[in-house]
C-alpha cells in the first residue's frame, strides 16, 4: 500500500514565513526539527534559473532561486550542516546555471550532470 504524503500550497509573498507555513502545513517542519545536525539533506528544486527560451509563465511553475535560498536558510536555522542542492537541466549544465546563483554562497555544490552514479540499496522502510 502506498503511503500518501501531505502537501501544501501557500501563496509566496516574499518572506520566509510563507515557506515555513507550507512546511508546517505539510508536516515537514516537525520532521526537520527531529533531524540531527549531521544528517544529510538534499534539496531538489526543479529548474531554478529563469530563461527566455522556454514558454514558462514567470511564476508558479518553476522554483525560483529565492525559494531555494530561503529553504536553505530554514534548514541552517534548524542546525543542519550537511545540505546539498542538486539539479540537472536539459540545455545547460547545472554548474553553468548555478555558477552565479545561490549555490555559489554555499560550500557543497554537487554537479550531478557529469558525475558517475553508484547503486545504493534501499531498505524496506524506504530509508537509505
Which tops the pLDDT comparison, 33 or 116? 33
pLDDT 10s digits, 21-46: 999 999 999 999 999 999 999 988 87
Q: Which helix (H) or strand (E) element contains residue 21?
A: helix 16-25
* pLDDT value for 5: 84
Q: What pTM did the predictor assign? A: 0.63
Q: What is the DSSP string of 48-110?
A: -S--SSS---SSSSS--HHHHHHHHHHHHHTT--EEEE----SSS-HHHHHTTSGGGGSS---
pLDDT 10s digits, 45-76: 876 556 666 666 666 566 777 888 899 999 99
- Residues 107, 16: Cα–Cα separation, whole Å: 22
pLDDT 10s digits, 80-105: 988 988 876 555 555 555 555 665 56
Amino acid at each position: 500500500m502506498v503511503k500518501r504524503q501531505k502537501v501544501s500550497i501557500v501563496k509566496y509573498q516574499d518572506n520566509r514565513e510563507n515557506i515555513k507555513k507550507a512546511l508546517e502545513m505539510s508536516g515537514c517542519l516537525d520532521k526537520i526539527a527531529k533531524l540531527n545536525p549531521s544528517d544529510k539533506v538534499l534539496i531538489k528544486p526543479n529548474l531554478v534559473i529563469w530563461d527566455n527560451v522556454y514558454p514558462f509563465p514567470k511564476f508558479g511553475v518553476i522554483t525560483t532561486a529565492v525559494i531555494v535560498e530561503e529553504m536553505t536558510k530554514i534548514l541552517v536555522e534548524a542546525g543542519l550542516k550537511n545540505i546539498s542542492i542538486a539539479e540537472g537541466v536539459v540545455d545547460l549544465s547545472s554548474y553553468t546555471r548555478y555558477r552565479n546563483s545561490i549555490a555559489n554562497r554555499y560550500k557543497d555544490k554537487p554537479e550531478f550532470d557529469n558525475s558517475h552514479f553508484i547503486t545504493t540499496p534501499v531498505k524496506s522502510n524506504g530509508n537509505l
